[in-house]
Amino acid sequence: MNAQPTYFRRIPRAATLLVAGLGLLTACGKNDDNPQPTTDYGPAVTIGTGKAIGYIKSDASGNPTEIGVRFNEAALNSLPATPTTGTMYDVALPPSAAKTPFDHISFDWNPIGHEPAGVYSVPHFDAHFYMQTMSAQHAITLDDPKGDIFPATTKLPSGYSTPPNVVPGRTVPMMGRHWVDPTSPEYQPGGSFSSTFIYGTYDGRVTFLEPMFTKAMLTNSVNFTAPIKQPQVYEVSGKYYPTNYTIRYDAAAKEYVVSLTDMVLR
C-alpha cells in the first residue's frame, strides 16, 4: 500500500545468493534415513547497508510450516528517507515455496506512511506475500480496471472491505486492490495502528496476503503473533496456507523476522 503509488520506487532483487551473516546457511540437508526439518533460502536483497532474505521452513516430511522474510539490524538502521512515497524491495523465494500459493515477497518501506491520513500515516512496512508472478505484479497500473474485478466474497474473510476512492480502496500500481478488516484497532474510536493484516485482489483473484506493521514495533524484544482471518474458499486448492503471522526478533542472528506460520493444507 502506498499513498502516492505512481512514484513508488522498486529495488530489483539480487541476482546471486548472498547468505553470509544473514539467516546463516540452509539448515542441515535432508537425510533419507533420518529426515529432519529444513530451512531453505532465496537470494538476498540489499537494503541500505544491510540485507533481507526470503525463506521457507518445512517439516521432516517436506511440508511447509513457515514462510517469511528476515532482515538484519544494518538494514533497519539504514532505511532510505526518500522517496517519501516508499521503496519496494523484491524478495524471491526458494523453490520449496511451490507447495504454498506464494511466488515471492515484496517488502515495502513507507518512511512517512500513507493514506488514510491518521490511520496509516506513520513510518511502517508492508510485507506483500504475492500469489502471482513478479512480472504480473509489476504490470499492474494505477487504477487498473482489472482491479475492479473482485473475487467471490467467499475467497475473502467475512467482513473485509475495500473503501472507494482512497488507498486501500483503489488499485495501486504493482500491487492491486487492498481489503482491510474494519474491526482492526486502527478503525476503532481512540484506536491506533501498530500491526494489521490485509488481503489483496486483482482480476477476480486473491493475489496477496499482507502483514503491515510500524517501524516502532521493531525492538529487540518484539515477539508478536496474531491469527489470520480465513476465507471459506482458498484461491488455489492443494496448497499450504498460513493461519498466523509473526513479527519477532532473532537475538542469536540479530535479525528481524516477518513470517506467515502454522501452515495448513487447504
Residues 150 and 161: their CA atoms lie apart, in Å, by 11
Q: 111 Cβ partners below 8 Å, 6+ apart?
A: 79, 80, 81, 82, 84, 86, 123
| pTM of the predicted model as reported, rounded to 2 decimal places | 0.89
Q: Is the pLDDT of residue 21 over 80?
A: no
pLDDT of residue 34: 85
Q: Is the pLDDT of residue 79 over 70?
A: yes
pLDDT of residue 143: 87
- Higher pLDDT: 3 or 186? It is 186
pLDDT of residue 170: 79
Residues 181 and 27: their CA atoms lie apart, in Å, by 36
Mean pLDDT of the chain: 89
pLDDT in tens, 163-208: 765 555 579 999 999 999 999 999 999 999 999 999 999 999 999 9
pLDDT of residue 22: 57
- Which CA distances in Å does 80 have to 15, 83, 174? 22, 8, 20
**What's the structural domain count of the chain?**
1
- Which CA distances in Å does 242 have to 100, 161, 210, 246, 263? 9, 21, 12, 11, 4
Domain span at residue 103 reads: 5-265
pLDDT of residue 258: 98
pLDDT of residue 115: 83
pLDDT of residue 199: 97
Q: Is the pLDDT of residue 238 over 60?
A: yes
Q: Is the pLDDT of residue 151 over 80?
A: yes
User: At 190, phi and psi to the nearest 5?
Assistant: 75, 0
Q: Is the pLDDT of residue 25 over 50?
A: no
